[in-house]
Amino acid sequence: MSPEARPARVALPRGDLRGPVDAHLRGVDFVVEGYGSGARTYRFEVERRPGIQVRVFSDQDIPIQVAIGNYDLGIASRQWVDELLVKHRLDSVVPLRQIDVASEPLVVAGEPGRTLAEIAGAGVVRVATEVPNLAAHFLVHARVPDYRLYEVWAQAEAWPPLDAELAVAPRSAVEKEGLQVLGEVHRGGVWLI
């Protein structure tokens, strides 16, 4: 690589995706030494690939970093890509390819024994969610006439039934909380963008 050439910049996720993404990248001979071990550093070089710089971000920040041009490529949960694209359809994020990393769907859930139509017909529906754009998109298409979104940073599944009627959260989280799944909001997946 010539000294004046800008390095290719890649954004990778921290947190629960770190280990599976590292295993996938090693499987395609893209070794980011120290990334999978959970090293406290957030900047890495790629083994045997000069001119590539890696930075680690929160999963939800990666689509934004790619959209504004700070990073050329990224790997992120598709829910965060679509959370951005639902609101900003003309954004410069292009989903290139799903990678072989397990994820789970986001669902809408509520108190057991009630249907979505019954909840929607009872008045204002309070919905706890980390993904307000995807939640609003789902609620409009489900014809829920009057709702209020409570944007939370984590554990939306803990809100119903006392503090909200519905939660949009990962399927396993709502089931663990004893809520009833009422619909699928997003299929999930991990993508190269």
pLDDT digit string (tens) for the chain, length 193 residues: 555 678 899 999 998 999 999 999 999 999 888 888 877 778 888 888 888 999 999 999 999 999 999 999 999 999 999 999 988 876 678 899 999 998 999 999 999 999 999 999 999 999 999 999 999 999 999 999 999 999 999 999 999 989 999 999 999 999 999 999 999 999 999 999 9
pLDDT given at position 3: 54
pLDDT given at position 133: 96
DSSP letter at 6 equals P
- Name the strand (E) or helix (H) holding 118: helix 116-120
Cα 88 to Cα 125: distance, rounded to the nearest angstrom: 25
pLDDT given at position 97: 95
What are the φ and ψ backbone dihedral angles of 5, each rounded to 5 degrees?
-75, 140
Within 142-183, residue ranges assigned H as helices are 171-176
Six-digit token string for 106: 């986001």
Neighbours of 81 (CB within 10 A): 24
Extended beta strands in 20-138, E state: 43-45, 52-57, 73-77, 97-99, 106-110, 125-129
pLDDT given at position 42: 83
Instruction: Output the pTM of the full model.
Output: 0.87
119, 112 in Cβ contact below 8 A? no
Tally of CA atoms within 13 A in the half-sphere of 97 that contains its CB: 3
pLDDT given at position 2: 55
